[in-house]
Structure 1
Amino acid sequence: MNLLHTAVVIVISVVLAACNSTPREPISTRDASAYISQQSAAQRSARVSDVHYDLDFTLTGGTTFSATTNVNFNLSDTNKALTLDLNQATISHFSINGKKVYPNYNNRYITLNPGLLVSGRNTVEVQFTRAHSTNGEGLHRFVDPVDDKVYLYSHFEPAAAQQMFAVFDQPDLKATYTLSVTAPKEWTVISAMRESSTTEQGDTRQWRFPQSPKLSPYNFSMHAGPYHQWTDNSGKYPLRLFARQSVVDQVTPQDWFTYTQQGLTFFDEYFGIPYPFKKYDQVLVPDFLYGAMENAAAITFSESRFLFNTEMTATQKQRLAGVIMHEMAHQWFGNLVTMKWWNGLWLNESFASFMGTLATAEATEFTHAWRSFYANNKQSAYHLDSQASTHPIEVPVATTQNAFDNIDAITYSKGASALKQLNHLLGEKAFQTGVRNYLTQYSYQNAELNDFITSLGKAANKNLTTWSQQWLYEAGVNSIQASFSCENGRITQFSLNQTAASDALPTLREQHVQIGLFTKGRNRLHHNISMPVTYSGSTTNVTSLVGLYCPDLVYPNYQDWGFVKVNLDPVSFNTAKQSLRLVKDPLLRSMLWQSLWDSVEDGSLSLNDYIGTVLVNLPGEIDYTIVGQVLSSLSKTRIYLDKMAPINQRYAQKAIRAIEQMSLRKVMINSQNRDVQRRWFANYIAFARSQDALNNIDALLNNKASIKGLTLDQDLRWMMISHLNRYDHPSAMYWLRKERELDSSDSGQKSALAAEVSRPDALKKRQWLTRIQQDTNLPFSKQRTIMDNLYPSEQKSLSAVTAEQRLTTLAQLDQDKGPVFMRSYAKDLIPTDCSYGNVSALQHLQSNSEQLSDGTQRALKEAIQQEQKCLLITSKMSR
């Protein structure tokens, strides 16, 4: 909309307001942004109720779509103006209660003239056209590079429904929806309800959908395109799965349907409420911002996470099952009962993470799901909760712009861990009863944190006020350590000592844990006893252990009931270092491995010693999950070694070479175990630095070498080609050009881009950086690919070339680009190089960062702390 037209609209709206004889409050208290504050949203929901949307879309496959929104709602008063959200649209017709008027529209929301509204039922009609989104929000449009077919999908969380239709875009204004869509006749349209009719109209088809149940705007969805469809009607609820036609061969529908049926059976029983929608659709979509989204009855999943060019590995299958369960839990907790405002998003995600893992462990073949949660999700939460940028689980959210500022591992995994601990503290049956009562009481409504906590407390007959304050409103992770003394082989004193995260985060929490005691035998570590204990405060004496055999190892969070970091006492620390191979319990072994890595990051164990422990013990490790956990720590080790160069260059080269060779040996001897072999092969590629290793990768690509049992599918080929380009191998560009011609798919284009961007060419890197900073036409999915691959850890000197530019332009980019862009940019492109000089530069920027958004300030804090941690680890290394 041009400025002259906007001015005319404002003048006419003011005149219309003046025509009403009753004095009015100001037209709107909102600012001119698309983001509504919590206060404004609360004021709006206090006046608006019983909302219904009648939506009509015309989709052509072009870059724009046209639509009509009819909004019907009750209004309690006409004392002041009301706003209706609609982002960046061109309005062709607008009426209030049947009266056609010029819209008072600022390209972000329409201000409804109170003189045309009534106390009671109102109808607003908006006809408009809008460009499709290309950043993964709103109604996203994607053109398949393989066959030029167009696919659309919607994504609205937290407040992007306004990019597709006129809406009161806030979670506590739940509404019912009817939908009509005219689209090319070869397309399928998917939404919260199954279509009631389709009518061919020449080259198009009109789809009509019946009225939906009450949903928050972010839970509603519409997806359209020539999607391929699989169906499964063998269970209680009809299932459908959709994917682009060009990727059909990469989908194994039976896996999807199996896990989905298992989950629906589990959740029906656990919640005691049947699945609240009439069908269950799942849609694989490209360019997705996140892993998946729980749209009511029409869940979207990221292709990049769940499409593979060969049979899925065990890890990939488990990830698929876990995400299906997570999004399914949301259908009850999130869609059926929804938070009132975005400060409740953590509970939505934490509960789904907790229930998703529980369902995966109890309803699928992945009975070890909680071990995987410990090794991956929980460690991310521990890491983040130890950062200077940590935050409480429950935090205020000022506006919808801030809704995702704190959506991270604390939101998902610390919150889930807190719920797991609460499950142990209250008892599983009381916890389940509380959840059932909550879902029953607030079905199709909005609720707040206190509603949930009160329901659990009543079911367990326990006051949870103190628990809530300690766990949900105070940041930081505590540590515990066993303290014991022995005489004549028997324990004479035993206590658990709890410490706070820091002086700035002094909270000590109550937790219910198990203490495990172990003694060394010739061939194994013997488990003597497990003792449940509820501890609190700085010291808790455990007199029940006095008199038992003196242990060689104490683990005070045995079986991982609590969310707490474990500092091993000196006796247990030595046992862990020397006797990992004797630990038969895989969860305990995993936790001991983690304790050793934690000791590296807190400076109590040198990186050299840790690498030595890995080289001695990891080759004998047979547990797939633990192998993945330790290889993940080795990945971090490699980054530290790269960042430390040239201070520890000689040691770094030797250590990386040793890990490279260990990995290749494990690839060769695991030819009968595809999953384990691929895991080690991926690690081999990551550590391949020697000329021999790079030449071997080239020979494998060229079929001049082979490894028994290993099939080089498209995913592995791109991984290898990208690595050769990172190290500028003589054949790298040949393979890049050849593979780009062979694989024209969307994932192939992104893989080729990643390989090209990672090449060690200073001039090209500066050009790529300029492009993502200035090119607004580059699809965001490709911008993210560039950011992720521009400065690999070993290219420290190349990163330094543009480090100052990235710092000086950070504030302007933060202002211009918005939160979706900056979440990726700040994570990948704030410079880190493990030097005191860079710490000083980052701290200087931090001291002048008032103009930075909260999310970018947080990323800056984390970069500083990461630099300081690297310097600490460097100082502890023996050269």
Structure 2
Amino acid sequence: MNLFRPVVSSFFILLLSACQLSGNSKDENKSTVQQRAENAYLSQEQAFSRSARVSNVNYNLEFSLSEKSVFAATSHINFQLDNANIPLTIDLNDAQITQLLVNGKAVTPKYNQWFITLPANVLVEGDNKVSVSFTREHSTDGEGLHRFQDPVDDKVYLYSHFEPAAAQQMFALFDQPDLKATYTMSVSAPADWSVITAMKESRVEKKGQVNTWYFAETPKLSPYNFSLHAGPYKVWEDNNAKYPLRLFVRQSVADQVKPSDWFQYTTQGITFFESYYGVDYPFAKYDQVLVPDFLYGAMENAAAITFAEGSFLTNGEMSKSKRERLANVIMHEMAHQWFGNLVTMKWWNGLWLNESFAAFMATLATAEATEFTAAWRTFYAGGKQGAYRADQSVTTHPIEVPIPSTANAFDNIDAITYSKGASALNQLRFLLGKETFRQGIHQYLSENAYKNAVLDDFIGSLAKASNRNLDTWKEQWLYNAGVNTINVRFECVNNVITHFEINQTPDEATQTLREQKIQLALFNIEGNKLNKVKSLPYIYNGKTTKVTELNGVQCPDLVYPNYEDWGFVKVQLDDKSFETAKEHVNKVEDPLLRSMLWQSLWDSVRDGQLALNSYLDVALKNISEEQDYTILGQVIGQLELSKSYLNKIYGTNHTYVKSMALKLEQLAWNNTVHHSGNNMRRWFDAYVNVTSTKDSLTNLHELLTGKKVIDGLVINQDLRWDIIKQLSRFQYNGADKLIAKELESDGSDTGLKSAIEAEVIVPNKATKDNWLAKIHDSNTDMQFSKLRSAMTVLYTSEQNNLSELTAEQRINTLVAIDAANDHTFMRNYGRYLIPMNCSEQSVQRLQKAANTFTDISSGTKRSLLMALQSDERCVMIKNKMNIQ
């Protein structure tokens, strides 16, 4: 099927439901089984056919680990089997099998490097035992059992990452979420290592330089929730909470972690979730491990959560935004311990519910259990805006989509999966009532503990708790793509409302009208304030909803029809409200509403209703008065994006662009020196990002070298690299020597990646060509994490001319690049290196590629279509500009 269609047809919904139902039947495919395709992926049909035969799975795993690039292991797989007269496959990726025993008998492996096929004549009805001994190279791409050698001290660290189906890169198994199993494990490893998994070690046997760690049997887990991490990690422990807490990090970066923050947020989270869910934490301990080269932000492995180092290490005091992100990500992965690990989706079409629910619960827990009480505002300004963008994209998709194979599990992992789903759940909470919603969640977790569940189980629990049929809600919100728009129309006589209505415009592709509970809020200008006259909770449905309750209310200067952000809907301000927002945004006392009005102004630029230069006039006039940290981050981000648009549209030598660049530098600098604390840091980060003129670059250099000091601002190692990258970006004299000198004092993994970025970002054709060749070389021995660093800065917005020199090459080789690389590589390549140069020529080039490239993966086709739409938007913004 075409995953880029905005609507899932009724046929596919029925097909998915049929698959879900058939997956619960032990009679499925007893007589015939479709032969498994000879590739690395498992189809949903094949997975459900296998789980219809296999049950009561237990793994007894033995590992021999060392600092070498190869590990050895034996998987003992115990399971019950129905219909033993047909072959059975066991997943194991790219291993060298040394012995295969089936029910005690040696068997010659029928193995294609993806899975072992066990012939029927070695299988029996009922209890079976399969033992697979093998060796395998560690992975270095972030999946399977990843190996990392620290460039600072040469110590070796291992960690696992299995989602969606990479456990087979570490042991032999049935690698699918609906075959939950128990795991018992023993691990031999160097004596100075720690070994971490779902259970705390039951004992450790010491034998010279090698220890053997033994772990008790786990509760039932899906394979992707299991894990193994090992190495000479630095460990901190906190045994003061209800459950023992541990934090692990590489020794060379241990001084960049503040354990007290981690333990504080973790303790707050466990207390909150146990109370909210009404279900105890399902495991015996809580470990968190910071790991290098991680592909994602974090991963919810049962009781042994992994976090990407780059997001959470800090040289110096962690900024407020980083601490809030830390709290939120801890809460996100913790929410999964119940919703995902305790109760697990049956197949990958349910991944959205895991992630949406965790995103929703993380925000709720951060707001209600930590110091970051404004977490919902952060969600609005960040994740929710990403969801709105994704849902208005040409590549939008329903929240729930069929996933035919593990090859497609991550095809639609985006802001719709996370933040739109979270927003839909949040507005459902308002529609049903907060306590009713909570009761439904409790019922769902209690009834499905240690089992697999499907969407109807979740919706059924909420429907039962609310005594309400939610089929229509499910159809409207989960099976139809696109974001709807609402606006209000009102009439006034003698300064009072005589008519008020909410108008809903559906997404063009789906024409779906939705029911939603929102708050209407009316405001009037009084002196130097915009005061709220009235707020009214209201459920709208259909194209037009009349609100007679507002008749007789004072005629407003501004109406906001999604006050306090209950709903997931695009707000189009009426003309009077739009003018009020432009002129009086700083008179709004409510910070969430102020944030939403700023967003409405920026959305009007993206939609072609407001010229970018007009937005900049409003922003430059008002933003210096803003003291709210979250709103500052939101608007500064819009200003930085505006500068990128101007660079692409006109180039850096255009008079207006030069003038605006100077104004943005002065704005950021003046606010840096006139603020303190977190707001100072936010403005200074902006100053580093927008600086391009000679005087400001000299200013940065003097701050870097200590010739100039700003009271209250610490130029830590992270900032030092940021400054060096910006100096290199604009070829400040001696920037190359600064890179080499900084590497002498910071040869860490972060330092090496920062140095690569500082080298790659320089506007030099030979440098660009050299690094593009490295990225394109499928036989390179450079780690992917370093190639990814290079991709992010190879062509910046002001380097359009350099980008254009290789644009045809990148487009013409896209099909070959896609064929030669995996989805992880292409996700990053598609984001950063498909050329978008904001011209009619660029749009036509992308359009031609989108029309003719039929032999590319669905993920790369998605990236190509998104690039085309972004380029078209840039051209639209260019045409809307009203400067000479």
Please show how residues 182-197 of structure 1 align to structure 2 within 5 Å: 182-197=188-203
Are 2:457 and 1:451 aligned? yes
Are 2:357 and 1:351 aligned? yes
Are 2:681 and 1:675 aligned? no
Could you state the TM-score of these two structures normalised by the residue count of structure 1? 0.96
Structure 1 SS opposite 2:564:
coil
Are 2:599 and 1:578 aligned? no
Residue from 851, 855, 862 that aligns with 1:851: 855
Aligned to 1:864: 868
Aligned to 1:234: 240
Residue from 802, 805, 812 that aligns with 2:809: 805
Residue from 47, 58, 68 that aligns with 2:64: 58
Are 2:98 and 1:77 aligned? no
Aligned to 2:696: 693
Counterparts of 1:263 and 1:482 in 2: how far apart (Å)? 40
Moved over 6 A (4+): 24-28
* AA partner of residue 855 (structure 2): Q
Aligned to 1:225: 231
Residue from 498, 518, 532 that aligns with 1:513: 518
Counterparts of 1:455 and 1:705 in 2: how far apart (Å)? 62
* AA partner of residue 456 (structure 2): N
Residue from 253, 277, 286 that aligns with 2:283: 277
Are 2:750 and 1:744 aligned? no
CA contact (8 A) 2:98 2:134 kept: yes
Please list the CA deviations of residues 655-701 of structure 1 after superposition, one character each: whole Å capped at 9, or x if unmatched: 1211111000001111xx22111111111111111111111111111
CA contact (8 A) 1:378 1:417 kept: yes
Structure 2 SS opposite 1:588:
helix
CA contact (8 A) 1:27 1:113 kept: no
Counterparts of 1:549 and 1:714 in 2: how far apart (Å)? 56
* AA partner of residue 284 (structure 1): L
Aligned to 1:791: 795
* Cα shift at 1:612: 0.6
CA contact (8 A) 1:511 1:535 kept: yes
Please show how residues 634-783 of structure 1 align to structure 2 within 5 Å: 634-646=639-651, 649-670=654-675, 673-774=676-777, 775-783=779-787
Aligned to 2:10: none
Residue from 816, 841, 845 that aligns with 1:841: 845
Aligned to 1:16: none
* AA partner of residue 575 (structure 1): T
Structure 2 SS opposite 1:83:
strand
Counterparts of 1:371 and 1:676 in 2: how far apart (Å)? 17
* AA partner of residue 46 (structure 2): S
Q: Give the aligned length.
A: 853
Aligned to 1:153: 159
Are 2:122 and 1:116 aligned? yes
Aligned to 1:91: 97
Counterparts of 2:796 and 2:743 in 1: how far apart (Å)? 21
Residue from 797, 810, 834 that aligns with 1:830: 834
Counterparts of 1:635 and 1:346 in 2: how far apart (Å)? 31
CA contact (8 A) 1:657 1:687 kept: no
* Cα shift at 1:653: 1.7
Aligned to 1:608: 613
Counterparts of 2:353 and 2:31 in 1: how far apart (Å)? 37
Structure 1 SS opposite 2:74:
strand
CA contact (8 A) 1:28 1:83 kept: no
* Cα shift at 1:786: 1.0
Cα distance, 1:457–1:26 mapped onto 2, change above 3 Å:
closer
Aligned to 1:566: 571
CA contact (8 A) 2:396 2:482 kept: yes
Please list the CA deviations of residues 394-445 of structure 1 after superposition, one character each: whole Å capped at 9, or x if unmatched: 0111111110110110000000000000000000111011100000110000
Counterparts of 1:159 and 1:828 in 2: how far apart (Å)? 26
Counterparts of 2:655 and 2:429 in 1: how far apart (Å)? 50
Please list the CA deviations of residues 261-290 of structure 1 after superposition, one character each: whole Å capped at 9, or x if unmatched: 000000001111100000000000010000
Counterparts of 2:64 and 2:813 in 1: how far apart (Å)? 41
Please list the CA deviations of residues 452-476 of structure 1 after superposition, one character each: whole Å capped at 9, or x if unmatched: 0011011001111010011000000
Please list the CA deviations of residues 115-139 of structure 1 after superposition, one character each: whole Å capped at 9, or x if unmatched: 1001111111111000001000000
Q: Which moved more, 1:453-462 or 1:805-814?
A: 805-814
Structure 2 SS opposite 1:122:
strand
Please list the CA deviations of residues 164-204 of structure 1 after superposition, one character each: whole Å capped at 9, or x if unmatched: 00010000000000000000000000000000000111110
Are 2:531 and 1:526 aligned? yes
Are 2:318 and 1:312 aligned? yes
Counterparts of 2:264 and 2:707 in 1: how far apart (Å)? 41
Aligned to 1:588: 593
Aligned to 2:638: 633
Are 2:476 and 1:470 aligned? yes
* Cα shift at 1:451: 0.6
Please show how residues 282-293 of structure 1 align to structure 2 within 5 Å: 282-293=288-299
Aligned to 2:222: 216
Structure 1 SS opposite 2:276:
helix
* AA partner of residue 244 (structure 1): R
Structure 1 SS opposite 2:566:
coil
* Cα shift at 1:34: 1.1
Counterparts of 2:427 and 2:641 in 1: how far apart (Å)? 29
Q: Which moved more, 1:766-775 or 1:238-247?
A: 766-775
Structure 1 SS opposite 2:733:
coil
Structure 1 SS opposite 2:330:
helix
CA contact (8 A) 2:73 2:171 kept: yes
Please list the CA deviations of residues 503-552 of structure 1 after superposition, one character each: whole Å capped at 9, or x if unmatched: x2211111000000000011100111110110011110000001100000
Please show how residues 413-424 of structure 1 align to structure 2 within 5 Å: 413-424=419-430
* AA partner of residue 817 (structure 2): L
* Cα shift at 1:28: 6.6
Counterparts of 1:524 and 1:27 in 2: how far apart (Å)? 71
Aligned to 2:389: 383
CA contact (8 A) 1:698 1:731 kept: no
Please list the CA deviations of residues 788-845 of structure 1 after superposition, one character each: whole Å capped at 9, or x if unmatched: 1111111101111111111111111211211111111111110000011111111111
Structure 1: any 5+ residue segments left out of the alignment? 1-23
CA contact (8 A) 2:100 2:130 kept: yes
* Cα shift at 1:27: 8.9
* Cα shift at 1:647: 10
* AA partner of residue 875 (structure 1): N
* Cα shift at 1:648: 8.8
Q: Give the share of equivalent positions with the same residue, in percent.
A: 56
* Cα shift at 1:26: 8.7
CA contact (8 A) 2:429 2:437 kept: yes
* AA partner of residue 481 (structure 2): A
Structure 2 SS opposite 1:105:
coil
* AA partner of residue 569 (structure 1): D
Aligned to 2:305: 299
CA contact (8 A) 2:59 2:76 kept: yes
Structure 2: any 5+ residue segments left out of the alignment? 1-29
Counterparts of 1:714 and 1:525 in 2: how far apart (Å)? 43
CA contact (8 A) 1:28 1:111 kept: no
Counterparts of 1:709 and 1:361 in 2: how far apart (Å)? 28
CA contact (8 A) 1:482 1:569 kept: yes
Please show how residues 530-545 of structure 1 align to structure 2 within 5 Å: 530-545=535-550
Please list the CA deviations of residues 21-45 of structure 1 after superposition, one character each: whole Å capped at 9, or x if unmatched: xxx9899711111110011001011
CA contact (8 A) 2:203 2:215 kept: yes
CA contact (8 A) 1:143 1:151 kept: yes
Q: Which moved more, 1:524-533 or 1:640-649?
A: 640-649
Structure 1 SS opposite 2:52:
helix
CA contact (8 A) 1:481 1:556 kept: yes
CA contact (8 A) 1:641 1:648 kept: no
CA contact (8 A) 2:85 2:123 kept: no
Counterparts of 1:770 and 1:745 in 2: how far apart (Å)? 25
Counterparts of 2:120 and 2:798 in 1: how far apart (Å)? 62
* AA partner of residue 551 (structure 2): V
CA contact (8 A) 1:28 1:81 kept: no
CA contact (8 A) 2:33 2:49 kept: no
Counterparts of 1:356 and 1:96 in 2: how far apart (Å)? 45
Structure 2 SS opposite 1:794:
helix
